[in-house]
Amino acid sequence: MNVQTYSSYAAINTASPISNGQFDTTQMAYSPGVQGSIVVVTLYYEWPIYLSLLGGNLSNLNGGSRLLVATSVFRNEPY
């Protein structure tokens, strides 16, 4: 899980956390921000690929896994 805070929507980093076929966790952090800040919550799951359908390679990580990503962007309430 990665929780990052940004000052504007344009500053949001959408770069892939995959480096040389490995899931790079060095940039992961937990920063929930303060009132009014823009927060991006990203969840990652390494899904093992056992079978390739129709000869296609679905893996994007070394070892035959696929990195699944879910992201939510919101602004904190002005509490």
Q: Which residue, 56, 67, 52, 51, is CA-closest to 19?
A: 67
pTM: 0.82
> How many residues comprise the chain?
79
Q: Please report the pLDDT score of residue 54 as a whole number.
A: 67
pLDDT digits (tens), the chain, 79 positions: 999 999 899 999 888 899 888 998 888 999 998 999 999 999 999 998 887 776 667 888 888 889 999 999 999 988 7
Total count of domains within the chain: 1
Q: Which residue, 6, 29, 27, is CA-closest to 18?
A: 27
What's the CA gap between 61 and 59, in Å, rounded? Answer: 6
Q: Please report the pLDDT score of residue 10 as a whole number.
A: 93
C-alpha distances in angstroms, 12 versus 4, 7, 32, 60? 9, 9, 14, 23
Q: Which domain holds residue 49?
A: 2-75
